[in-house]
């Protein structure tokens, strides 16, 4: 505060002058305009010819001042006492006259000294005291800082003691190297997160042999300041340590052995279609055959004959459409409509059947030996888990498995050996572990095992710190920056996981039960063909009733029994419809052959015409006898 600044503030607050408050930014703005005005006066730019020209509103016609360069150089050289202190530009920036050094205590600040300039250095007071200049002790130049714990004693800087689990297997996630260095996926994530922190984090890694729960208890006991590794975030652990945000996917699942004996099954040709689809398709064939017989029986001689002949035709004609082998001609337009839809349905069914059967015969389909933990528990089979992990407690407390059923393993090789033997030969029926471990195991043995059953929720891997540690929020933020950086995460994962065997999609290999085609998939087709068949049948019967109503009415009104009337109606329907187009066409052809054509050239076709005429007459006689 200077006399110059006090006078300015009084003038600023005068009534009817300014209503806005005054702050440091306002003072800087005032000093900047003042500096520019002083520079203009110095270079006498007001006398420049470029400034005397009329002001134009067209920006495109505005010129560049010839004195611009000189004006800039003059502003950069200016030094004067301003409202905010000493005005001086260094590399184009306003040089601060002093810096406050303050001590943060809670949400307040406490000034403990100032930095005047390079020559004067630190001082307790803003006004430089020459007696302090000779004192080289920083503590005497500044006021005492108050450190956390309300103490003036500066805490000694110490390295963070970080516990890391020693593991025999799954070194892709964490491995303790020589000199207590660590490597693996979890280690790389930790190093990447530390690099994202806004402060250094000195640390030492301390190996620990034992369970993960005991390792985390060492934080509560004060042995370690943190735990870094593939440590799963679960509820009971969160009661005595704080976890960072997870850096891996979460969940517990089950891996079982698979078998592939489907191609050796002699009944495999039935599996492409489910039982309900086989039955529905057969019923549709019979129904369509009956509809076609009804539509063709009165007008088509190929659908007439003895009862066994007609019954065989019903089955033969519809089923022969499977391979499009039917040779019988149809003459009814309603029949043609039904066949158009039916042939389309048959085409879809045969193509789907062929594709599904080809897939079963050529692509390896794996079937899991077990699909649910309940099945294994009911049979009393053994279950494997990873040694020293929380999975043992999870299996006994959450899933209700007996401890005698559980077997602990350390490595992927032990997992493979135990599953290959099976529960009856000293191995296990399934391995239950966290999904990241199981995916790594399957990646190395994908042709033999598959992941099945429900996924039980966990929160993934995280780093552990003491309860209330401020490092948790910093590390969580850093982990988010790492996991959201796709390039960085890809490079970390590629070092340990992407070089493993890449497996096919396991979901496409699970059990053939869900691969059969079901009737629901073709429900629309069956509805369409059924609707068209019923519609055609109804229209044909309506036409039949209308054309034969007098005769039918006489039969109905007779005093005979119901069954007698029904038999009479059936006999009437069984007769040939001689008024139909096929029969009238043949009759007209026979009459035309009996009457010589006077315009035709005689003698050239007599033999053929007589032979054809004789055949047609014989055919008509046979049909009439029928």
**376/411 same-domain check:** yes
Residue at a domain's end among 457, 490, 519 = 457
At 87-111, the pLDDT tens digits run 888 888 887 777 889 999 888 899 9
Query: For residue 416, what are its two tokens?
Result: 């493979």
CA distance linking residue 122 with residue 116, whole number of Å? 6
pLDDT at 583: 58
pLDDT at 624: 41
> How many C-beta neighbours within 10 Å does residue 160 have?
16
**333/372 same-domain check:** no
Q: Kindly tell me the burial class for residue 158, based on how many C-beta atoms sit within 10 Å of its own C-beta (0-12, 13-18, 19 or more).
A: exposed
> How many C-beta neighbours within 10 Å does residue 210 have?
13
pTM of the model: 0.50
CA distance linking residue 141 with residue 138, whole number of Å? 5
What is the sign of the dihedral through the CA atoms of 369, 373, 374 and 377? positive
CA distance linking residue 34 with residue 495, whole number of Å? 61
Q: In terms of pLDDT, which residue wins out, 49 or 345?
A: 345
**Residue 478's pLDDT band (cuts 50, 70, 90):** very high
User: Is residue 335 one of the residues assigned to a domain?
Assistant: yes
Cβ atoms 293, 287 nearer than 8 A: no
**Residue 228's pLDDT band (cuts 50, 70, 90):** very high
User: Is residue 122 one of the residues assigned to a domain?
Assistant: no
What is the sign of the dihedral through the CA atoms of 376, 379, 385 and 388? positive
**227/304 same-domain check:** no
Asked whether residue 467 carries a pLDDT value surpassing 90, the answer given is yes
At 444-454, the pLDDT tens digits run 876 688 888 78
Q: In terms of pLDDT, which residue wins out, 578 or 28?
A: 28
User: Is residue 588 one of the residues assigned to a domain?
Assistant: no
How far does CA 542 lie from the centroid of its chain? 57
Q: Are strands 79-82 and 406-409 parallel, antiparallel or unpaired?
A: unpaired
The percentage of residues in the chain with a pLDDT greater than 90, rounded to a whole number, is 22
CA distance linking residue 623 with residue 301, whole number of Å? 7
Residue at a domain's end among 326, 347, 362 = 362
Asked whether residue 477 carries a pLDDT value surpassing 70, the answer given is yes
SS3 content of the chain, % helix, strand, coil (to 5): 50, 15, 35
**355/288 same-domain check:** yes
Angle between helices 275-296 and 523-547 (to 10 degrees): 20
Query: For residue 573, what are its two tokens?
Result: 């329907």
Q: What is the CA radius of gyration of the chain?
A: 48
Cβ atoms 583, 332 nearer than 8 A: no
**Least confident span in 80-89, 241-250, 598-607:** 598-607
pLDDT at 216: 94
Asked whether residue 614 carries a pLDDT value surpassing 90, the answer given is no
What domain range is 90 assigned to?
3-46+72-94
pLDDT at 617: 38
pLDDT at 622: 40
The percentage of residues in the chain with a pLDDT greater than 70, rounded to a whole number, is 75
**165/85 same-domain check:** no
Rank 188-197, 307-316, 343-352 by mean pLDDT and report only the highest. 188-197
**86/14 same-domain check:** yes
Asked whether residue 594 carries a pLDDT value surpassing 70, the answer given is no
Query: For residue 274, what are its two tokens?
Result: 């489910």
CA distance linking residue 397 with residue 487, whole number of Å? 40
**Virtual torsion, Cα 338, 341, 347, 348, nearest 10 deg:** -140
Q: What average pLDDT does this structure show over 558-582? A: 65
> How many C-beta neighbours within 10 Å does residue 447 have?
14
**193/219 same-domain check:** yes
CA distance linking residue 174 with residue 185, whole number of Å? 6
Q: What average pLDDT does this structure show over 361-381? A: 79
User: Is residue 488 one of the residues assigned to a domain?
Assistant: yes
Asked whether residue 409 carries a pLDDT value surpassing 90, the answer given is yes
CA distances from 183 to 173, 178, 180 (A): 8, 10, 10
pLDDT at 575: 67
At 194-204, the pLDDT tens digits run 999 988 899 99
User: Is residue 118 one of the residues assigned to a domain?
Assistant: no
pLDDT at 602: 39
**333/351 same-domain check:** yes
pLDDT at 56: 56
pLDDT at 439: 87
User: Is residue 511 one of the residues assigned to a domain?
Assistant: no
Cβ atoms 170, 412 nearer than 8 A: yes
DSSP state of 273: B
pLDDT at 568: 67
Total structural domains within the chain? 4
At 259-309, the pLDDT tens digits run 765 556 677 788 888 888 889 988 888 888 888 888 877 777 777 777 777
Alpha helix locations (H) across 43-142?
A: 49-52, 68-77, 130-133, 138-141
Residue at a domain's end among 390, 423, 457 = 457
At 417-449, the pLDDT tens digits run 999 888 888 899 999 999 889 888 888 876 688
**193/206 same-domain check:** yes
CA distance linking residue 509 with residue 452, whole number of Å? 11
Classified as helix, coil or strand, 544 is helix
Query: For residue 394, what are its two tokens?
Result: 């999870």
**433/352 same-domain check:** no
Alpha helix locations (H) across 304-422?
A: 307-320, 333-362, 373-379, 391-393, 412-421
What's the CATH code of the domain at 379? 3.40.190.10
User: Is residue 304 one of the residues assigned to a domain?
Assistant: yes
**418/494 same-domain check:** no
**245/315 same-domain check:** no
Rank 33-47, 291-305, 386-400, 568-582 by mean pLDDT and report only the highest. 386-400
User: Is residue 171 one of the residues assigned to a domain?
Assistant: yes
134 CB-near residues (< 8 Å, 6+ apart)? none
Query: For residue 7, what are its two tokens?
Result: 């006078």
Q: In terms of pLDDT, which residue wins out, 305 or 392?
A: 392
pLDDT at 321: 75
> How many C-beta neighbours within 10 Å does residue 126 have?
13
239 CB-near residues (< 8 Å, 6+ apart)? none
């Amino acid at each position: 505060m200077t006399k110059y600044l006090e006078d300015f503030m009084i003038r600023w607050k005068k009534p009817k002058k300014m209503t806005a408050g005054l702050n440091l930014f306002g003072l800087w703005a005032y000093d900047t305009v003042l500096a520019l005005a002083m520079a203009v006066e110095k270079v006498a730019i007001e006398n420049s010819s470029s400034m005397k020209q009329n002001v134009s509103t067209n920006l495109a016609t505005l010129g560049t001042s010839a004195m611009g360069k000189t004006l800039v150089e003059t502003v950069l050289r200016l030094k004067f006492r301003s409202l905010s202190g000493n005005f001086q530009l260094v590399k184009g920036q306003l040089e601060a006259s002093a810096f406050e050094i303050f001590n943060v205590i809670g949400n307040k600040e406490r000034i403990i000294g100032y930095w005047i300039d390079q020559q004067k250095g630190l001082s307790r007071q803003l006004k430089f005291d020459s007696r302090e200049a000779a004192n080289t002790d920083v503590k005497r130049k500044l006021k005492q800082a108050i450190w956390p714990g309300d103490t003036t004693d500066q805490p000694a800087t110490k390295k963070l003691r970080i516990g890391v689990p020693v593991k025999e297997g799954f070194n892709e996630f964490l491995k303790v190297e020589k000199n207590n260095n660590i490597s693996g996926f979890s280690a790389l994530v930790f190093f990447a997160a530390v690099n994202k922190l806004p402060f250094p984090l000195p640390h030492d890694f301390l190996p620990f042999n034992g369970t993960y729960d005991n390792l985390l208890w060492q934080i509560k006991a004060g042995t370690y300041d943190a735990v870094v590794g593939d440590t799963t975030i679960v509820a009971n652990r969160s009661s005595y340590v704080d976890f960072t945000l997870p850096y891996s996917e979460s969940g517990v699942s089950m891996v079982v052995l698979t078998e592939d004996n489907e191609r050796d099954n002699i009944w495999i040709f039935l599996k492409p279609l489910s039982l309900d689809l086989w039955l529905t398709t057969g019923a549709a064939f019979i129904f369509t055959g009956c509809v076609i017989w009804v539509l063709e029986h009165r007008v088509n001689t190929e659908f007439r004959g003895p009862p066994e002949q007609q019954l065989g035709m019903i089955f033969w004609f519809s089923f022969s459409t499977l391979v499009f082998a039917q040779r019988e001609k149809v003459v009814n337009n309603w029949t043609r409509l039904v066949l158009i839809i039916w042939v389309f349905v048959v085409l879809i069914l045969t193509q789907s059947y062929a594709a599904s059967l080809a897939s079963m015969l050529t692509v390896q389909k794996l079937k899991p030996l077990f699909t649910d933990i309940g099945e294994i528990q009911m049979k009393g089979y053994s279950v494997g888990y990873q040694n020293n992990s929380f999975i043992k407690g999870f299996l006994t407390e959450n899933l209700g498995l007996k401890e005698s059923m559980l077997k602990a393993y350390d490595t992927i090789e032990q997992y493979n050996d135990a599953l290959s033997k099976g529960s009856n030969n000293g191995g296990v029926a399934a391995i239950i572990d966290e999904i990241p471990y199981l995916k790594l195991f399957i990646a190395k043995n994908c042709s033999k095992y598959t992941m099945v059953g429900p996924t039980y929720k966990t929160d993934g891997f995280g780093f552990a710190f003491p309860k209330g540690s401020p490092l948790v929020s910093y590390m969580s933020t850093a982990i988010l920056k790492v996991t959201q950086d796709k390039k960085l995460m890809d490079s970390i994962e590629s070092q340990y996981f992407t070089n493993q065997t890449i497996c096919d999609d396991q979901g496409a290999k699970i059990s053939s039960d869900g691969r059969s085609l079901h009737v629901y998939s073709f429900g629309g087709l069956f509805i369409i063909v059924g609707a068209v068949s019923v519609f055609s049948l109804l229209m044909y019967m309506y036409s039949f009733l209308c054309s034969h109503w007098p005769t039918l009415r006489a039969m109905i009104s007779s005093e005979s029994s119901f069954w007698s009337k029904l038999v009479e109606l059936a006999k009437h329907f069984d007769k040939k419809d001689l008024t139909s187009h096929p029969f009238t066409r043949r009759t007209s052809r026979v009459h035309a052959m009996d009457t010589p054509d006077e315009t035709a050239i005689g003698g050239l076709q007599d033999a053929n015409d007589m032979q054809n005429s004789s055949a047609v007459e014989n055919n008509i006689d046979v049909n009439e006898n029928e």
